[in-house]
């Protein structure tokens, strides 16, 4: 093995490329990253740091460009931006106008994606708002859509169920917001990836959630074809959600309708990206779920072999385009139902932190992904070996060079059908934990991103769609993340279990009236126990049964009992009495200072099992647990009425905001082209 390069020089080089050589651990103590990890991560960015000579050359290359603007810069409307002495050119505005600039961008620039042309290069300029408007004070539901089975479902909740709960929650319960688990596209070959947080693409929707009977092709079909389709319906009362069976049934039914219809619409924005996704879907059906194992010529989306395959599979490509048209139609219908019900906010869609490395986005956008890297989290008290999410990160250098088009398009795709976006692991806009090839989860380091550009793009697209933004900032997160979010009008996350004064003796819970207002509050999350599970110590018992406890069962139960006692102290301090802890916990959170307060159907009906148990894959039925009551019965369930009564009293229905504008598609001037 060659000797490691000089550490000081390596640190200078790493800093130039946003790679951390040290960081603050979860216990607030500094952690030094091993040199070989830094070298490996730099290598994934195309920077050779394997020797002193290589480091010297790389530093010299970085210094030659240190005075240049990066490929993309951000500005805040009303504030302008200094560019640096001698940097001058023409700013080509998105609407076709132009502004001459010299050394600084003016403060009165319009919002948008603009392009700055200087003597030697073009730079994308993203102008975002200083802050989003205040979020209405309301309450609502956070949904695991697949779990919400109705009489019309085919084995799992679907877009039709989403429309139903939006309509009825708004009109009958006075709810103002629905947070929906990710419904992005999956790999269309079985076995399906059940986790909604590992989609094949974050730019397109999942046909797994289609309601077959709500399509025009079904309505217009002959009685014989409709009867044949209805016979394909899978069981709708299985103990667990059977994703593979549901997809096989829906795919066969949709194929039958496809064969018998002449009305085959495609999405209005059937651009090159959507066609590439449809080609990938058709190829995945033939060659398997991971494009990295396809025949070599098909691994490059720009190759003639892919174009030829797309022509050969033309009918199948058209079928997948049709599926996306159906998804957009039904998602738009659900959003319209929320608006018609007068919801103060409407539908908020969840954005996962990444995509499946073998999926559509990783195939189509190989130029912006660090395909061999996995993202996760460093070691902490709860995960001493760190976390490996198995998702490839974007390369920050390639994002800048391509005008952040990949990030922009992901945000647009989520907001196309929603009134808000929840960004999973929002700290990833600032930095992500990169795990280089061949290393375990705890052997990685942070790579930093241009948070100014990320935020400008996110807030710009949200402003254009009159949408709210929520960031999931639970766990070990730098203070700058949450502070910046609140300043810019992005809601952070407040979870009752965690809102404690960790510095005080006994770590008492903080009364919800003292919580930060710029938050979306909830009792629990999909990765934590339900209320009923918390009462019964179900998580501890499951972890013990699976051999996942780091301590004895008796010690774990004692810790859980102490945590429960601390929360019961809060209930007593707030004067909340009663034997029903489900109702009591809803009552304590209802008057929170938070702008949004969310409950989950699982909590309201007393479900014991939590949706997902981190640290497990097949050992626990993650993402497969149905709600124990049908959606039709959910709205008449006395347990639900009792649980949400405090929310309805503390947060009565408010007037809906003005109607949101329709999605406008790509900007007039696309800086990535």
Find the mean pLDDT for residues 229-249. Answer: 97
Give the span between the Cα atoms of 391 and 375, in whole angstroms: 6
pLDDT level of residue 379 (50, 70, 90 thresholds): confident
* Confidence check: pLDDT of 654 > 90: no
Give the span between the Cα atoms of 519 and 187, in whole angstroms: 34
* Confidence check: pLDDT of 666 > 90: no
Q: How many CB atoms lie within 10 A of CB 264?
A: 12
* Confidence check: pLDDT of 505 > 80: yes
pTM over 0.85: yes
pLDDT level of residue 504 (50, 70, 90 thresholds): confident
Q: Could you give the C-alpha distances from 530 to 119, 142, 289, 525, 581, in angstroms and in order?
A: 60, 13, 33, 8, 12
Find the mean pLDDT for residues 287-291. Answer: 94
Q: Which residues of 660-673 are buried (b: 16+ CB within 10 A; e: fewer)?
A: beebeebbeeebbe
Q: How far apart are the first and last CA of the chain?
A: 43
Find the mean pLDDT for residues 585-613. Answer: 97
Nearest to 302 by CA among 243, 350, 393, 366: 366
Model confidence pLDDT, tens digit, residues 99-143? 999 999 999 999 999 999 998 889 999 999 999 999 999 999 999
Find the mean pLDDT for residues 18-26. Answer: 92
The pLDDT value given to residue 270: 59
The pLDDT value given to residue 235: 96
Find the mean pLDDT for residues 590-617. Answer: 95
Q: Strands 420-423 and 468-471: what pairing?
A: parallel
* Confidence check: pLDDT of 661 > 60: no
Model confidence pLDDT, tens digit, residues 175-202? 999 999 999 999 888 899 999 999 999 9
370 secondary structure, DSSP code: -
């Amino acid at each position: 093995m060659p000797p490691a390069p000089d550490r000081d020089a390596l640190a200078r080089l790493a800093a130039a490329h946003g790679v951390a050589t040290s960081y603050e651990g979860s216990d607030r103590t500094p952690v030094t990253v091993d040199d070989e990890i830094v070298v490996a991560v730099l290598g994934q960015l195309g920077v050779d740091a394997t020797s002193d000579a290589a480091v010297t050359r790389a530093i010299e290359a970085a210094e030659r460009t240190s005075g240049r603007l990066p490929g993309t810069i951000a500005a805040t409307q009303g504030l302008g931006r200094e560019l640096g002495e001698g940097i001058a050119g023409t700013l080509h505005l998105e609407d076709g106008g132009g502004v001459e600039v010299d050394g600084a961008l003016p403060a009165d620039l319009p919002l948008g994606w603009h392009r700055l042309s200087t003597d030697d290069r073009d730079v994308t300029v993203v102008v975002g708002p200083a802050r989003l408007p205040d979020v209405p004070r309301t309450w609502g539901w956070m949904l695991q859509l697949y779990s919400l089975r109705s009489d019309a479902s085919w084995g799992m909740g679907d877009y039709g169920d989403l429309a139903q709960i939006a309509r009825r929650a708004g009109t009958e319960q006075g709810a103002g917001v629905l947070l929906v688990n990710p419904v992005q596209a999956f790999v269309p070959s079985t076995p399906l990836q059940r986790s909604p947080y590992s989609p094949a693409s974050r730019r397109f929707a999942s046909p797994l959630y289609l309601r077959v009977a709500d399509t025009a092709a079904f309505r217009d079909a002959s009685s014989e074809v409709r009867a044949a389709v209805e016979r394909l319906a899978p069981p709708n009362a299985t103990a667990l959600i059977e994703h593979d069976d549901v997809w096989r049934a829906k795919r066969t039914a949709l194929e039958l309708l496809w064969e018998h219809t002449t009305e085959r619409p495609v999405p209005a924005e059937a651009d090159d990206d959507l066609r590439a996704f449809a080609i990938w879907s058709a190829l995945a059906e033939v060659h398997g779920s991971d494009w990295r194992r396809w025949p070599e010529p098909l691994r490059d989306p720009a190759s003639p072999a892919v174009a030829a395959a797309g022509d050969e599979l033309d009918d199948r490509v058209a079928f997948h385009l049709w599926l996306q048209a159906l998804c957009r139609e039904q998602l738009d219908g659900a959003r319209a139902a929320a608006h018609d019900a007068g919801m103060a906010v409407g539908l908020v869609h969840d954005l996962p932190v990444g995509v499946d490395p073998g999926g559509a986005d990783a195939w189509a956008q190989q130029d912006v992904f660090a395909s061999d890297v996995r993202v996760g989290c460093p070691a902490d008290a709860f995960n001493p070996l760190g976390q490996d999410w198995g998702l490839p990160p974007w390369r920050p250098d390639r994002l800048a060079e391509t005008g952040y088009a990949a990030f922009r398009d992901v945000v647009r795709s989520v907001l196309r059908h929603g009134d808000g976006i929840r960004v999973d692991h929002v700290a990833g806009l600032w930095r992500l934990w990169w795990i280089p090839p061949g290393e375990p989860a705890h052997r990685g380091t942070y790579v930093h991103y241009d948070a100014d550009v990320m935020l400008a793009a996110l807030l710009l697209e949200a402003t254009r769609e009159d949408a709210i933004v929520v960031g999931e900032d639970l766990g070990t997160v730098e203070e700058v993340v949450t502070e910046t979010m609140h300043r810019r009008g992005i809601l952070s996350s407040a979870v009752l279990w965690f809102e404690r004064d960790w510095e005080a003796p006994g770590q008492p819970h903080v009364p919800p009236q003292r919580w930060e207002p710029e938050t979306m509050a909830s009792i629990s999350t999909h990765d934590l126990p339900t209320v009923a599970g918390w009462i019964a110590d179900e998580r501890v018992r499951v972890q013990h049964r699976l051999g996942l406890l780091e301590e004895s069962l008796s010690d774990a139960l004692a810790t859980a009992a102490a945590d429960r006692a601390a929360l019961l102290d809060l209930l007593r301090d707030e004067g909340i009495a009663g034997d029903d802890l489900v109702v009591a916990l809803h009552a304590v959170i209802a008057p929170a200072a938070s702008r949004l307060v969310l409950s989950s159907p699982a909590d309201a009906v007393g479900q014991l099992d939590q949706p997902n148990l981190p640290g497990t894959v097949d050992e626990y039925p993650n993402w497969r647990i149905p709600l124990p009551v049908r959606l039709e019965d959910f709205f008449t369930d006395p347990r639900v009425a009792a649980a949400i009564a405090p929310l309805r009293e503390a947060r009565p229905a408010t007037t809906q905001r003005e109607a949101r504008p329709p999605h406008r598609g790509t900007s007039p001037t696309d800086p990535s082209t």
